[in-house]
Amino acid sequence: MPVVDLELVKNLYKTPGAARLPVDVAPRFKAGDAVVARNINPPGHTRLPRYIRDKKGVIENDLGVFHLPDSRAAGTGDQAQHMYTVRFDAREVWGVEAPANDSLRITLWDDYMNPA
């Protein structure tokens, strides 16, 4: 079986750019909700970086439904979940020496957070 054939190349051009899924899934959070990032340390893939674990933030924006990267990388079944822009104060993440008015925004999936 050829690894790359003409059909595959044609499909490359048809692949939609956005990974957003057109499915109806109930969100766990809404804009304005206070959340805390979970402290998990999975040996597999996750897009929850270490520096944000256990930090408190606020949901800024619901970006829609996407595959949870963790289970998709492990091949244990696709999980469609809402993904959000979440704002964290710089001082919450980096401590009292961080500028008072700075914040960072990070995209997190439903599974990465608990209500604060």
Partner 1 sequence: MNSIHDMGGMHGLGPLDPSDDEIVFHAAWEGRTMALARAMMAGKHFNLDEYRYAMERIDPARYLQFSYYERWLEGTLNLLMEKGVITQQEFDAQLSKLSKADS
- Contact residues: partner 1, CB under 8 A: 3-4, 8-9, 11-12, 15, 19, 41-47, 49-51, 67, 69-70, 72-75, 93-94
CA distances from 57 to 15, 97, 100 (A): 34, 18, 15
Instruction: List, in order, residues 6 or more apart from 36 with CB less than 8 Å away.
Output: 54, 55, 56, 57, 113, 114, 115, 116
Nearer to partner 1 (CB atom), residue 59 or residue 93: 93
Nearer to partner 1 (CB atom), residue 39 or residue 114: 39
Query: Which residues lie across from 34 on neighbouring strands?
Result: 58
CB of 112: closest distance to partner 1 in angstroms?
Answer: 14
CB of 78: closest distance to partner 1 in angstroms?
Answer: 9
Nearer to partner 1 (CB atom), residue 33 or residue 70: 70
Phi/psi class of residue 47: alpha, beta or left (left: φ > 0; alpha: ψ in -120 to 50)? alpha
CB of 40: closest distance to partner 1 in angstroms?
Answer: 10
d(CA 37, CA 102): 19
Phi and psi of 46, rounded to 5°?
A: -150, 155
CB of 32: closest distance to partner 1 in angstroms?
Answer: 25
Nearer to partner 1 (CB atom), residue 3 or residue 100: 3
